[in-house]
Amino acid sequence: MHLRCLQVEFEERRCWDDLLCPRCRYPYETRVAVHLGKIALREAINEHGPEHSLVADALANIGNSYGQFGDNERQREYLERALEIDTSRFNLFVDVGKAYGQLGQLRKQREHLEHAVRMIEQQHGQFHSVLAPIFIVFGDLQADVKIATDWSATWEDDLFQQLIKYAEARNLSIHELERLVSVVGKHGRSLSLSFDAEGCPSLLEELLEVSPEVGSNELVTTRPRSAHVLGGKQIAVGVSGVSKEQPEDDVQSEVFEFCEHFPLSVLVQGAAANQRLLYERALEIQEDVYGTEHCELVVPLTKLGNVWGRLGCFQRKYELLERALNIQLKELGPQHREVAVIRFNLAHALYSLGSRDEAIKLMKTAKKGLLENFGEKHRHSQAAARALKYWSPLQKDAHGVRAHTRSASPPKLKRSTTCAV
């Protein structure tokens, strides 16, 4: 149908808050929804004035249509205008919170969603269906965060802004976040991160190891004493080794050059115990609303299971992921990509419980599904291949020496497990 025809039909119906197709009752496509939404906004203002609730409805509809199109800045803009008119509806706070999340403004996302939770619980009680996805978002904000750091003239400021963002997402001060931060270099080499009096980050403590090759020179001892940020790319390193060919001063400059381009990632440690509480709350709400076998339970079951694994309770992880897998098998069938991902995580739970043979069998099934859905170069497929290589039984190498891998243990799925949280 032509856009002009849709517009004429929409204007004849005069239902300015209804952007569903009258035939199929599904939302219009994004471009059509934005076009009709602006007509609705114009007519609502003309009929009721600029402060009417129908004007807020029209603004929200336009904003969320832009959000579906991926224009989250315009989504935020229209939703904020809607909130200026009407602050009585929790869905506006939820939608604008989601828009802020897509824009990376995590503090504003958290604040709007927290306000929405208070409104929902006051108006509808503690088991409203909208609460569950909000608690899942809150749980996700408590997850580990890895921030890649590139050596550039502004890397310190860029890193500091990222850390501020994640501190605000968790409602922490930057100094409270400091104890959760570590810096991980290439091949797992680590530094610690602290902040000076002005709040700017500085790298301190020790590099755990430096490659024995630095440029064209070899170091006898390869453990620097410390690494300090002097600003920009300026990193000076105290060296406890000497070069075979050059005096110590020259060695220092070579290590300086190596560390200047040393790839670092900043790891912000998550709060798995907080995640567990939030995901459990989401699961409790979903079970109350939908029952125990509905597909809406899959997300909280999967997230909660993986969190229990990080807390060291692999039996609980296995039980929750098994529930999620059974639901998805009924809903999506055995070949679906989400089924393959759950099988991958469930295989890790089996292996952690000591059931190596069962874990290998399930991981092979998961790998097949991952290859079919993602391809062999995808990180999920490669992770499955690495797991199978590590879990494989003892084999002899070319010299007849038996390779070392973890030995098989009898299944322990029925044993009682105590989880310290």
pLDDT of residue 5 exceeding 70: yes
User: All domains of the chain, ordered by start, with CATH?
Assistant: 3-125 (1.25.40.10), 145-268 (no CATH), 272-391 (1.25.40.10)
Q: Which of 362, 288, 277, 260 is nearest to 311 (CA)?
A: 277
Whether 36 contacts 22, CB under 8 Å: no
Q: Which of 111, 116, 83, 188 is nearest to 146 (CA)?
A: 188
Model pLDDT, residue 85? 95
Whether 229 contacts 203, CB under 8 Å: yes
- Per-residue model confidence as pLDDT tens digits over 196-248: 434 444 443 333 333 333 332 232 222 333 333 323 333 333 323 333 333 33
For residues 237 and 59, give the distance between their C-alpha atoms in angstroms, rounded to a whole number. Answer: 57
Q: Which of 280, 38, 245, 10 is nearest to 139 (CA)?
A: 280
Structure tokens at 407: 């030995």
Model pLDDT, residue 188? 47
- Per-residue model confidence as pLDDT tens digits over 248-294: 343 333 333 334 444 567 777 888 999 999 999 999 999 999 999 99
- Per-residue model confidence as pLDDT tens digits over 365-409: 999 999 999 999 999 999 999 999 999 875 444 444 444 444 444
Whether 305 contacts 321, CB under 8 Å: yes
